[in-house]
Amino acid sequence: MMKNIMHKMFLSCLKATELIERKFQIELSVKEKLQLKIHTMMCDACSNYQKHSEFIEKGLRKIKTKEINQEEITELKKSIITKING
């Protein structure tokens, strides 16, 4: 009984990342929100993935709403290239 409950409540990392990405598109159910919250509290990798995904999604929303100007895009590109080249 307890094992069945644990299996239903705890997510794999694959399912957790799926929910992280899906929550930007649709509202998650209460169960899914709870499962994701529990998983990210215990899993540093998925917690970091969620933070990065939220950061990227916020940037994409800015670009879609044109809150970012061409000068900011140019500076961002330069910053990315500098970080890639070390």
Q: Tell me the pLDDT tens digit for each residue of 12-65.
A: 999 999 999 999 999 999 999 999 999 999 999 999 999 999 988 988 887 777
Separation between Cα atoms, residue 10 and residue 40, nearest integer Å: 10
| DSSP 8-state symbol, 26 | S
Tell me which residue of 29, 38, 45, 42 sits closest to 9, measured CA to CA: 38
pTM above 0.75, yes or no: no
